[in-house]
Amino acid sequence: MAQSDPRRAVPRTDVLMGHPDLVAAVARHGAATVKEAVRSAQSLARSGEIAPDDVLTAARAMLPSRSTTLRPLLNATGVVVHTNIGRAPLSDAAVDAVVAAAAYLDVEYDTATGARARRGRGTLEALRAAVPAAGDALVVNNGAAALVLATTALAAGREVLVSRGEMVEIGDGFRLPDLIASTGARLREVGTTNRTRLADYADALGPETGCILKVHPSNFRVEGFTSAASVRELATLGAPLVVDIGSGLLHRDDLLPDEPDATTALTDGATIVTASGDKLLGGPQAGLVLGEAATVERLRRHPLARALRVDKLTLAALEATLRGPVPPVTDYLHVDRDRLRARTERLATAVSGEVVAVEGRVGGGGAPGLPLPGWAVALPEECAERLRRGQPGVVARVERGRCLVDLRCVPPARDTDVERAILAVRAVLDVRGVDRPSGD
């Protein structure tokens, strides 16, 4: 082979891997990822697409910018708890707690005695302090796990009484009846889709009853000729009463009048309340179990509890959410409308968009149909895809042929990032002659 063959000049893998930049990259991304970038860069040089001298630069450019393929996104949809983009964003306090919990820590260890201690006791104390109506608390992996644990421990091999109007699908094809059936309990439906009375439960109650389950139909509403038995009524029947409130509100929120909360359900007589940690509570993915101490203990002792237990990162984030500052989800729900309007107007002016009135949503199976009035910047529909794919990705809402950028769920400090992202997209689209939105 001739000495001038550029392939001969391509730097060797071991030489490249010894370069300080790539040594640092190995510490950050792992050797396999860095080697893959090096090999790709070498093959570009071998095929003559880049000069041999540029292999190092090309390899560096091919390294991922972070160590996960998960891409952070800005939520400009106006949907506060958006399951597809990670439900609840954590507060800074919760993020700090997660980082601290990444190391060794006393998650189930007593530093005074050197003996084993109750796992996540600080988190459970925080939960009990936040909901004094609960005799005890337990945290599992998610809301579905909390429900499965409760029905398994109370009703495996026996019956769970549920209203036909509450046989819900919780999303992505997962249906409540299937979930309960998987626990070995038999589902006994009572009432009809639109009306279920206390007497319907009373008629079905018997020695086979393991528990009564009341599920908040959080992602839909039945309107018109409807009735349902209340928690207070169901509690009079004497069977263990499990109430799945779904969204994780611990106390009533006047903004969400139809959303059940744990404290009210417990004071109304629920034996156990189950809920998600990453919906309206605004914390990490988790399943909360709150209720009567002896029943919570029964759940804790069930063998399944071990398979559903949460990890230390979750315990840390949940404790910080409960004890710390108001989480972003709460801020976004209760956003100051004048301030939101001012931010929206500023953005509209900067990007030559138009301010339009919109309705945000709670989302994540919470308060279906409840509008959250606000504003958005309307852009041509074509902007939406480019915004999503940008850096950072901005997820806007597409509605009636327009791309709507709603700042409700964007941290105010990131408004300028949204602005820059839109300007970059507009610069490309304006060159291509895409129309500005018409003034409607």
Ligand X SMILES: *Cc1c(COP(=O)(O)O)cnc(C)c1O
What are the residues binding ligand X (CB under 6 A)?
A: 142-144, 147, 170, 215-216, 218, 244, 246-247, 276, 287, 365
Q: How far is the CB of 172 from ligand X (least distance, A)?
A: 9
Which tokens sit at 333? Answer: 């729900």
Which tokens sit at 349? Answer: 């002016």
The CA angle 411-415-416, to the nearest 5 degrees, is: 140
The CA angle 76-81-85, to the nearest 5 degrees, is: 65
Q: How far is the CB of 248 from ligand X (least distance, A)?
A: 8
Nearer to ligand X, 213 or 396 (CB): 213
The amino acid present at 133, given as its one-letter code, is A
The CA angle 190-194-195, to the nearest 5 degrees, is: 55
Q: Classify 3 in phi/psi space as left (phi over 0), alpha (psi -120 to 50) or beta.
A: alpha
Nearer to ligand X, 29 or 87 (CB): 87
Q: How far is the CB of 91 from ligand X (least distance, A)?
A: 19
- DSSP notation for 44-88: HHHTTSS-GGGHHHHHHHHS-SSSSSPPPEEEESSBSSBGGGTBS
Q: How far is the CB of 163 from ligand X (least distance, A)?
A: 13
User: Which letter, b or e, does each residue of 114-133 get, where b requires 16 or more Cβ atoms within 10 Å of its Cβ?
Assistant: eeeeeebebbbebbbebbeb
H/E element holding 305? helix 303-307
Q: How far is the CB of 170 from ligand X (least distance, A)?
A: 4
What are the CA-CA distances from residue 357 to residues 70, 110, 190, 360, 373 (Å)?
32, 55, 43, 10, 7
Nearer to ligand X, 287 or 353 (CB): 287
Nearer to ligand X, 148 or 316 (CB): 148
- Per the CB < 8 A criterion, the answer to whether 271 and 237 are in contact is no
Q: How far is the CB of 327 from ligand X (least distance, A)?
A: 16
Nearer to ligand X, 45 or 170 (CB): 170
CB-based closest residue to ligand X = 143
- Per the CB < 8 A criterion, the answer to whether 67 and 28 are in contact is yes
Nearer to ligand X, 123 or 276 (CB): 276
Q: How far is the CB of 180 from ligand X (least distance, A)?
A: 11
Nearer to ligand X, 94 or 170 (CB): 170
In whole angstroms, give the CA distance from residue 62 to residue 40: 8
Burial class (CB in 10 A: 0-12, 13-18, 19+), 387: buried
Nearer to ligand X, 42 or 75 (CB): 75
- Nearest residue to 287 via CA among 387, 85, 178, 144: 144
The amino acid present at 209, given as its one-letter code, is T
Q: How far is the CB of 236 from ligand X (least distance, A)?
A: 23
Q: How far is the CB of 241 from ligand X (least distance, A)?
A: 15
In whole angstroms, give the CA distance from residue 7 to residue 194: 75
Nearer to ligand X, 109 or 220 (CB): 220
Nearer to ligand X, 42 or 321 (CB): 321
Q: How far is the CB of 231 from ligand X (least distance, A)?
A: 14
In whole angstroms, give the CA distance from residue 358 to residue 431: 29
